[in-house]
Amino acid sequence: MVGFDIEAMTSDIYYDDEQEGLDEQIMIRFSHVAAEDTPKDRTTSKFAALVEDKTNGKVKVHIYPNATLYNDANEWEAVQNGSVEMIAPATAKISEHYPKWQILDLPYAFPNYQAIEEAYEGKIGETLLKALDRSKVKGLSLWYNGFKQITNQEYLIRTPDDFNRLHFRTMPGVVIKEQFNQLNASTSTISFSKTYQNLEVNFVDGQENTLSNINTKKFYEHQQYLTISNHGYLGYGVLINRDFWNSLSPDIQESITEAMNEATSWGRRHAIEINDQHARELRSNQPMNIHTLTTEERFQWEQALQPVYEKTKQTVSSELMKEINRIKE
């Protein structure tokens, strides 16, 4: 948005007085860092349409994608202080503040999509959202993106040894850092919106991400090699400012909750196909050298990354660890 004045929009509820005939129009500013045409942006659009529909236009959701309003460095604070009403950071980014959330970044915890659904919409998701209960934000849902893959600019990575001494951009989170440590690679935590430029100047050799993020952010322009490893899952916690939530009437809260449930289920059904579409585009349009791990290579990665589970046990309750191990099997 050009000429946008953040300071002027810091009240909890923003009344859009351009809307004739709708008194007390409620505006939800939803800021996120992913590009358009990604699972997160499309699920947010779905949510926005559903909210507007269910409240007969009384609540409008204004989406700010691509870190146009806030980025990884400041969106957490922005939702806490009510500068925006909603954000949907990657679960790894929430784990910076709520360490239990790191359980969702454990490598090879999810053998298939059903396992992710079980974690996100079952006991683990419920416990993680509840962990936010006494904070300034309310956790509304967990949203889907896809499995993470590895890109880099040096050579094709096939085995755990290939990581030796490479330097990776990562999201924040102890588990992710530990994952690369186990592979003898070093890491720098860098905002998503600054990743492209750090790849461009070779500050980092590589990064891990979903195919939709790799394609929409054009990482392929500076990353020649792509390893389809499916070693971790990238999804989101959907957060709303708690004072704002509490200021809404029960029927508006109910409409938002319904819209969120329907949008979550839409995202679950569409995230795979959105990532597949980006995979096809990467394969057909980009000169990347792509390798999918063989069963044997995947086994080697799983073995190499097993110690990350031991370390995580120290932070995450045994109950949640038991649940993730059950899902993993």
# binding residues, ligand LMR (CB under 6 A):
9
Tell me if 150 contacts ligand LMR by CB under 6 A: no
Tell me: does residue 219 bind ligand LMR (CB under 6 A): no
Site for ligand LMR (CB under 6 A): which residue of 55, 102, 179, 213? 213
User: Does the footprint of ligand LMR cover residue 90 (CB under 6 A)?
Assistant: yes
**Minimum Å distance from CB 328 to ligand LMR?**
22
- CB nearer to ligand LMR: pick between 152 and 213: 213
Choose which of 209, 215, 230, 275 interacts with ligand LMR (CB under 6 A).
Answer: 209
Rule CB under 6 A: say whether 192 interacts with ligand LMR. yes
- Please tell me whether residue 34 binds ligand LMR under the rule CB under 6 A: yes
Token pair listed for 61: 């959701």
Told to check if 33 binds ligand LMR by CB under 6 A, we report yes
In the complex, the smallest distance separating the C-beta of residue 13 from ligand LMR, rounded to whole angstroms, is 26
Does 86 engage in binding with ligand LMR (CB under 6 A)?
no
* Residue 40 touches ligand LMR, criterion: CB under 6 A: yes
**Residue 171 binding ligand LMR, by CB under 6 A:** yes
| Cβ partners under 8 Å of residue 125, min gap 6 | 119, 142
Q: Which CB atom, from 14 or from 267, has the smaller least distance to ligand LMR? A: 267
CB of 90 to ligand LMR, least distance (A): 3
Query: Min. distance of Cβ 20 from ligand LMR in angstroms?
Result: 36
Binding mask 266-305 for ligand LMR (x = CB under 6 A): ----------------------------------------
Question: Interacting stretch for ligand LMR, rule CB under 6 A, among 32-40, 57-65, 78-86, 123-131?
Answer: 32-40
SS (H, E, C) the chain: CCCCCCHHHCCCCECCCCCCCCCCCEEEEEECCCCCCCHHHHHHHHHHHHHHHHCCCCEEEEEECCCCCCCCCCHHHHHHCCCCCEECCEHHHHHCCCHHHHHHHCCCCCCCHHHHHHHHHCHHHHHHHHCCCCCCEEEEEEEEEEEEEEEECCCCCCCHHHHCCCEEEECCCHHHHHHHHHCCCEEEECCHHHHHHHHHCCCCCEEEECHHHHHHCCHHHCCCEEEEEEEEEEEEEEEEEHHHHHHCCHHHHHHHHHHHHHHHHHHHHHHHHHHHHHHHHHHHHCCCEEEECCHHHHHHHHHHHCHHHHHHCCCCCHHHHHHHHHHHC
- Footprint of ligand LMR (CB under 6 A): 33-34, 40, 90, 145, 171, 192, 209, 213
